[in-house]
Structure 1
C-alpha cells in the first residue's frame, strides 16, 4: 500500500509504502497482483486484512 504526503518543512511530496499481510482464503492471488483489501478482525498474529477483490492480475 502506498500513500503520498507533503513534507511539513520542505513541501515536497514523499511516498510511503507499507506491506500488509492479507488473508487469501481461496489462494487466488499471485505475487504482483493489484488487490483491494478490507480491514477485519485479527485472523492471526500479523494478519488484520482480508482480500476483497483482485483489481489487476500480474503479467
Structure 2
C-alpha cells in the first residue's frame, strides 16, 4: 500500500492527519486498514519532526 501514499513527507503528513480526523479513531486502525506498518509511518514522519499524539489522534 506504500506505493499509493505520497512520497513527499509534508503531503503524507496532510493526508494521514486528514484520514485520522475524518475516518479513523486511532493510528492503529488507519495502519491496519491501509495495510502499512505503523513503525514505518511514524519513522517517515519523524524524519520531519512530527510525532503521533494519541490523545489528539494526529501527528504534531
Using structure 1 for the length normalisation, give the TM-score: 0.17
Instruction: Flag the structure with higher strand content.
Output: 1
Instruction: Flag the structure with higher helix content.
Output: 2
Larger radius of gyration: 1
- By relative contact order (CA 8 Å, sep 6+), the higher-ranking structure is 2
Using structure 2 for the length normalisation, give the TM-score: 0.17
